[in-house]
Amino acid sequence: YVSKCRFEKINIPTLDQLLNTENGNATTKYINCLVDNCECTAIFGSTGDVDVINCTIVENKLDVLNVYWGGYVPSPNFQGANLLVYNSIVYDNTYYNGHFPPNGTTIFSYSGIDALETWMVDDGTCSYVNPQFSYDPSEPYMLDLFSPYIGYGNTVYLTSEPYILQEHDIISNHRYADANHSCLDAGAYQTSKYDQDD
């Protein structure tokens, strides 16, 4: 698990990935993370599946989101590293599509994206509207109160995670919008905050 981390303004001049994971048959999970204003070949490099849950990935320059670690297939029997993106916002990124071809499958569920690249798969639950970030100087990618992604997320992708990863967003706001855990915002920030008694 990688939770509540920020990867900001990182420039990797070589053909490499920002977050390399030697995870083999395990699944690496990024939860409540922010990746913004970075430049790299791919954000995620892996030898196994990667889940991206309630993350915000904005204003980056890259080829693709996910490639095999090192840009090659690690073994003859390897079937591909899947990138599964849930309850996240992937918006206003620049894709060069010039260095590494996409490997594996990149599938989006209950996420906000601004364009469906050829290597992306929308499972039918995604939205393509402007996320309406608040552009608060201290938290520029928090959703404003009128964002269409408030209450947009699906709780099923968090309920199997450890309690501490479910309960708080990137700045420790309570993640769920109601005490019944039936509603949460997409992205790294939970904008709709209510007092909870659970």
Residue pair 103/68 in contact (Cβ under 8 Å)? The answer is: yes
Per-residue pLDDT of the chain in tens (198 residues, 90 and over written 9): 999 999 999 999 888 889 988 877 788 999 999 999 999 989 998 888 899 999 999 999 999 898 865 445 445 555 556 889 999 999 999 998 777 766 667 899 999 999 898 889 999 999 999 999 998 889 999 999 999 999 999 999 888 888 888 889 999 988 887 777 778 999 999 986 544 444
Rounded Cα distance, 1 and 16, in Å = 22
Rounded Cα distance, 41 and 192, in Å = 34
Place of tokens 């994971």: 21
Beta bridge partners of 89: 56, 112
